[in-house]
Structure 1
C-alpha cells in the first residue's frame, strides 16, 4: 500500500483523495466497537484498490486501539473474509 490514508477522527471516517476525488470509509465508535457503516469510492477512481487500502488501515487502527469491529458495510465484511487475519476483531 502506497497511500497515506487519513484518519479523520472528528468525522469518524478514513479518507483518501485521488485525482481530486474524495473516497471515504465511514464508521461509528461506541463502547470500544468500530462499526464500519459505509465504504464509498466514486466510479471515477474505482478499481484502484482504494477501498481495500482504507479498510486495511481502519482494521489496523482498530487492532492498535484494541477495538472490536462490526462490519455492516458489505465491502468491509468481504475484505475480512478474504483476509482472515482480521477475523479475531469481528463481533456480531
Structure 2
C-alpha cells in the first residue's frame, strides 16, 4: 500500500465527514442565527428559546437527508471493502 493510496482513502473519508457535518449542522446554525436576530430585535434574553427550533430543524434535516447520507456512508465502506484485496496484494 503506497502513501498515495492511503491519502486518497483518508481524503475520501474526510470529505464525506465534512459533507455529513455540514449538511446536519448548517441548517441548525442558520435557524440559530435567525432566532438570535429575533431575540436581539425584541430584547428577549431567554436562552432556551433557540433550543427547540434548532432541535426540530436538526431532526428534520436528519429525517429528510438521512437516507442519502446513509447511502453515501455505505458506498464509502463498500468501496473500502472491495479494495482490500487490491490494497494488500
Please tell me the TM-score bracket, short chain as reference: under 0.3
Structure with more of its chain in helix, by fraction:
2
Structure with more of its chain in strand, by fraction:
1
Larger Rg: 2
Structure of greater relative contact order (alpha carbons < 8 Å, 6+ residues apart):
2
